[in-house]
C-alpha cells in the first residue's frame, strides 16, 4: 500500500474533493454570478485534472517519498 | 462579502486536512531532530515549494496586490530583482556551508564560524523578530476577516492560532512545511482564475495597459530619477538597496527561509532548493501583483468595479484591492477557495515563524546557554513547549498591535536595522578566511548603529530625522533602501578593519565553513548540466528576459 502520508496524495485528495464540490455547485444556477460566468465549472474541472495528476504521481512515482 | 454553505464547507475541509496532516505526522516524530529539523529528510520538490511559500504569507499576497495597484509592474522588482539573484547566490555559493557545516540553524553556523556572542546576538534578535512577525500576521488576518466577513477579532485570532498550534505541536516543522506546499497550490489555483477573469473583463492585456498610466506598465523605464515614478526611488537605490543589500540580507541569512533548504535530504537537494524555487518565484508576480494592476485598470475603464476607499473618502484603500476583486468576480464556491487561500497564507506565515522560533530557541538559546547536556527527549519537550509559547506570544502580539499600532511600526523599523547589515557579516565570514569573531560581532553592531543613524538623520514622508534632518527622500522606500546600503557598507568596512587587528581561528577549524578552505570534490565530478551553476544561469537568463519584456 502506497504511503498515504505522501504529500502528493494529500494534495491530490484535497483538490479532488474541492474540485468535485465546485463542479457540483456549478450545476446549481444560483451559484453563478449574474453575468453567467461558469467559473465554478471551469475551476472544478481544472482542480480535478490537477488532482488526478498529483494522484497519478503518487501512485506511479519512481520513488516513494519518505514523509518524515 | 457573503459566504454560502459551500464556501464554509471548503474552509472546513481545509482545516480538517491541515489538522489531519499534523495527526499523521505525529507518529513519525520521535526526536528533537524530527520535530525541529524534519530529520533532514524532505524531498527536493517539497523543500523548493516550501522555500517560496514560507515567504508567501498573506501580508505578501495582500501587500503585493496593493503595491501593484499603487506602483504598477515596478512591484515585480521585489521578485525579479529583490529575490531571484539572492536565491541563486544562496543555492550556488552559500548552501554548501550552511548544509555542509552540519549547523542546525543559521545562528549555529555563526557560532561555528565565529563565536558564541555573534550567535547569541543573531539568535536573540531573530527569535524576538519571528514572534512579532507571527503576531503581526495574526493581527492582519483578524483585521481583514473582520472587514470582509464580519468575524470578530477574537474569533479569527483564536481560530487561526488554535489550528496552527495543533498541527505544529503535533507534527513540528514537517507539518508546517507540508501545509506551506498545500498553501502554495491553493494560492496559485485560487487566485489565478481572478487574474484571467480580470484581464478578460478589461479587454485583454491591451485593455489593461490602455487603462493604466504609462509608468505603471514599465519596470525600469521610469527609474532614472525618483521623481519619475510612484515608488520614489531611482535605479541606484533600487539596484543596491533592494537588489543587493536587502535582498541578499533576507534570502541568504533569514533562518525562516534558509531552514527550508537545510532540511533537504542531501547536499545536492539543499543547493538545488532555492534554484528550483526560483522558477515558480519568477512567475508569482503574475498571480499576486497583476490583481492590483487589474483593479486600477477596471476602475479606470468604468467597468463597474470600484477600488474601496479609506475612511477619509479620498485615499484608495489599496490593501483591499485583492479582497474586493474576489468579492466582485467570484461566485460562492470558488470564493470559498479564494478565502481559504488567504486564510492558509496567513496561517502558514504564522506557522513558519513559530517553527523557526522553536528551533532557534531550543538549539541556539536554551541548549547553548541554559541546559547544554540534557537528553534528546528533554530537548524534544522544550521544542514543543517553545511552540506553545510561540503561539501564545503571537496572540499577545496581535492584541498589542491592535492597541498600539505605532509600536508595531517601531518594532519593524528596529528589526530592519538589525537585518540590514547581516549579509555583510555572512559574506565576509564565508568568503574571507581572515574574518574574526570580534570583527563580525562589532561589525554587526556597527552596521545596526549606522542603520539607526541614517534613519535619524534623514526624513521621508514625515518619518525619521529624530536626530537632525540632513536629507529628505522622495519616499520611505527610498529611505529604507539607503538605510540598508549604509548599514551594509558600515558593517563590511568595520568587520574588515577590526578583523585585521584581532585574533582569528586556526584554518583547520574553518574547513567546511569558508569557501577557500573547503574542498569541493562533488562539484568537480559532476557533468556540467547537473551542476547547480547551470541551473542558476538558466534562471538568470529567464529573469533577464522577463525584465526586458516589461522594461
Question: What would the pLDDT profile of B60-104 be if each residue is shown by its tens digit?
Answer: 889 899 999 999 999 999 999 999 999 999 999 999 989 988 899
Q: What is the pLDDT of residue B137?
A: 86
Residue among A5, A39, A67 minimizing CB distance to B331: A39
- Closest by alpha carbon to B192, among B57, B128, B71, B283? B283
All residues of chain A having their beta carbon less than 8 Å from the beta carbon of residue B18 are none
CB proximity under 8 Å: B 156-185 to A: 171, 174, 178, 181-182, 185
pLDDT of residue B461: 86
Mark residue B232 as left, alpha or beta (left: phi above 0; alpha: psi -120 to 50; beta: remaining): left
C-alpha cell at A48: 480535478
Mean per-residue pLDDT for B133-161? 90
Q: Give yes or no for residue B352 having a pLDDT over 70.
A: yes
Percent of chain B residues past pLDDT 70, beyond the cut = 98
Query: Quick check: A68 and B38 CB within 8 A?
Result: yes
Backbone angles phi, psi at B446, to 5 degrees: -65, -40
- Residue A68 confidence (pLDDT) above 50: no
Q: Is A3 on the interface with B (CB under 8 A)?
A: no
pLDDT of residue A2: 52
Contact map slice: A 21-50 vs B, CB within 8 A:
21-22, 25-26, 31-33, 37, 39-40, 42-44, 46-47, 50
- Interface check for B330 against chain A (CB to CB < 8 A): the answer is yes
Which residue did the predictor score with more confidence, B55 or B458? B458
Q: Which of B91-95, B132-136, B405-409 has the highest mean pLDDT?
A: B91-95
By C-alpha distance, which of B420, B415, B384 is closest to B134? B415
Do the chains contact at B182 and A14, CB–CB below 8 Å? Answer: yes
Closest residue in chain A to residue B335, using alpha carbons only: A40
- Establish how many alpha carbons lie within 13 A of residue B238's alpha carbon, considering only the half-sphere containing its beta carbon: 22
pLDDT of residue B488: 93
- pLDDT higher than 90, residue B234: no
pLDDT of residue A32: 54
A19-A25-A29 Cα angle (round to 5): 145
Residues of B (11-40) whose Cβ lies below 8 Å from A: 13-14, 17, 21, 24-25, 28-29, 34, 38-39
Average pLDDT over residues B481-499: 94
Predicted confidence band of residue B408 (pLDDT cuts 50, 70, 90):
low
Q: What is the pLDDT of residues A4-60, one digit of tens each?
A: 678 999 999 999 999 999 998 888 755 555 554 588 999 999 999 999 999 999 998
Q: Across the interface, do B334 and A32 touch by the CB < 8 Å criterion?
A: no
Q: For chain B, give the mean pLDDT.
A: 91
Q: Are B301 and B211 in contact (CB under 8 A)?
A: yes
pTM for this entry: 0.91
> Residue B197 and residue A17: Cβ atoms within 8 Å?
no
**pLDDT score of B521:** 60
* pLDDT, mean of residues B238-265: 91
Residue B112 has pLDDT above 60, yes or no: yes
Average pLDDT (B438-464) is 93
C-alpha B435/C-alpha B412 separation (Å) is: 29
Per-residue cell: B249:
540580507
Alpha-carbon span B453 to B6, nearest angstrom: 54
Note the ipTM here.
Answer: 0.90
Whether the per-residue pLDDT at B153 is higher than 90: the answer is yes
Least confident segment among B14-28, B87-101, B328-342, B392-406:
B392-406
Judged by phi (left if over 0) then psi (alpha if -120 to 50, else beta), residue B461 lies in left
Residue B10 confidence (pLDDT) above 50: yes
Distance from CA of B3 to the nearest CA of A (A): 11
Of B467, B500, B48, whose CA–CA distance to B257 is shortest?
B48
Amino acid at each position: 500500500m502506497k504511503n498515504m502520508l505522501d504529500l502528493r496524495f494529500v494534495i491530490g485528495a484535497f483538490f479532488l474533493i474541492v474540485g468535485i464540490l465546485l463542479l457540483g455547485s456549478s450545476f446549481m444556477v444560483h451559484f453563478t454570478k449574474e453575468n453567467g460566468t461558469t467559473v465554478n465549472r471551469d475551476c472544478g474541472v481544472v482542480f480535478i485534472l490537477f488532482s488526478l495528476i498529483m494522484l497519478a504521481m503518487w501512485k506511479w512515482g519512481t520513488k516513494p517519498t519518505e514523509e518524515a | 462579502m457573503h459566504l454560502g454553505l459551500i464556501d464554509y464547507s471548503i474552509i472546513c475541509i481545509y482545516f480538517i486536512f491541515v489538522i489531519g496532516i499534523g495527526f499523521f505526522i505525529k507518529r513519525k516524530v520521535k526526536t528533537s531532530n524530527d520535530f525541529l529539523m524534519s530529520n533532514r529528510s524532505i524531498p527536493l520538490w517539497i523543500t523548493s515549494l516550501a522555500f517560496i511559500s514560507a515567504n508567501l504569507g498573506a501580508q505578501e499576497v495582500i501587500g503585493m496586490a496593493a503595491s501593484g495597484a499603487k506602483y504598477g509592474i515596478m512591484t515585480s522588482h521585489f521578485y525579479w530583482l529583490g529575490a531571484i539573484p539572492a536565491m541563486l547566490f544562496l543555492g550556488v555559493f552559500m548552501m554548501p556551508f550552511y548544509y555542509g557545516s552540519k549547523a542546525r540553524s543559521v545562528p549555529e553556523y555563526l557560532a561555528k564560524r565565529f563565536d558564541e556572542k555573534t550567535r547569541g546576538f543573531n539568535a536573540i534578535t531573530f527569535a524576538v523578530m519571528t514572534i512579532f512577525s507571527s503576531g503581526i500576521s495574526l493581527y492582519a488576518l483578524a483585521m481583514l476577516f473582520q472587514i470582509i466577513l464580519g468575524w470578530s477579532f477574537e474569533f479569527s485570532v483564536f481560530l487561526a492560532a488554535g489550528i496552527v498550534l495543533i498541527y505544529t505541536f503535533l507534527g513540528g516543522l514537517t507539518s508546517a512545511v507540508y501545509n506551506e506546499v498545500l498553501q502554495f497550490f491553493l494560492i496559485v489555483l485560487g487566485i489565478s482564475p481572478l487574474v484571467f477573469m480580470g484581464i478578460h473583463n478589461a479587454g485583454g492585456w491591451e485593455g489593461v495597459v490602455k487603462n493604466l498610466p504609462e509608468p505603471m506598465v514599465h519596470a525600469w523605464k521610469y527609474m532614472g530619477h525618483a521623481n519619475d515614478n510612484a515608488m520614489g526611488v531611482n535605479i541606484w537605490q533600487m539596484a543596491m538597496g533592494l537588489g543587493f543589500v536587502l535582498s541578499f540580507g533576507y534570502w541568504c541569512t533569514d533562518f525562516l527561509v534558509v531552514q527550508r533548504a537545510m532540511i533537504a535530504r542531501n547536499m545536492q537537494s539543499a543547493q538545488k532548493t532555492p534554484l528550483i524555487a526560483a522558477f515558480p518565484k519568477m512567475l508569482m508576480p503574475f498571480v499576486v501583483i497583476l490583481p492590483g494592476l487589474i483593479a486600477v485598470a477596471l476602475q479606470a475603464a468604468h467597468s463597474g468595479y470600484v477600488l474601496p476607499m479609506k475612511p477619509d473618502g479620498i485615499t484608495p484603500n489599496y490593501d483591499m484591492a485583492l479582497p474586493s476583486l474576489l468579492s466582485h468576480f467570484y461566485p460562492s464556491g470558488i470564493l470559498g477557495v479564494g478565502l481559504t487561500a488567504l486564510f492558509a497564507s496567513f496561517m502558514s506565515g504564522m506557522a513558519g515563524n513559530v517553527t523557526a522560533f522553536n528551533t532557534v530557541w531550543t538549539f541556539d538559546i536554551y541548549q547553548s546557554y541554559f541546559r547544554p547536556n540534557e537528553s534528546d527527549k528533554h530537548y524534544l519537550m522544550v521544542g514543543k513547549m517553545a511552540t506553545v509559547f510561540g503561539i501564545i506570544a503571537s496572540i499577545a502580539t496581535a492584541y498589542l498591535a491592535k492597541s498600539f499600532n505605532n509600536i508595531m511600526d517601531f518594532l519593524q523599523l528596529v528589526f530592519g536595522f538589525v537585518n540590514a547589515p547581516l549579509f555583510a557579516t555572512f559574506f565576509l565570514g564565508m568568503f574571507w578566511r581572515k574574518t574574526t569573531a570580534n570583527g563580525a560581532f562589532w561589525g554587526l553592531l556597527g552596521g545596526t548603529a549606522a542603520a539607526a543613524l541614517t534613519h535619524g538623520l534623514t526624513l521621508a514622508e514625515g518619518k525619521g530625522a529624530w536626530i537632525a534632518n540632513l536629507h529628505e527622500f522622495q519616499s520611505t522606500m527610498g529611505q529604507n533602501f539607503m538605510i540598508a546600503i549604509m548599514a551594509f557598507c558600515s558593517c563590511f568596512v568595520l568587520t574588515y578593519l577590526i578583523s585585521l587587528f584581532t585574533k582569528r581561528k586556526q584554518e583547520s577549524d574553518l574547513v567546511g565553513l569558508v569557501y577557500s578552505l573547503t574542498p569541493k570534490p562533488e562539484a568537480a565530478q559532476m557533468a556540467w548540466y547537473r551542476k547547480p551553476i547551470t541551473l542558476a544561469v538558466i534562471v538568470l537568463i529567464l529573469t533577464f528576459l522577463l525584465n526586458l519584456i516589461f522594461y
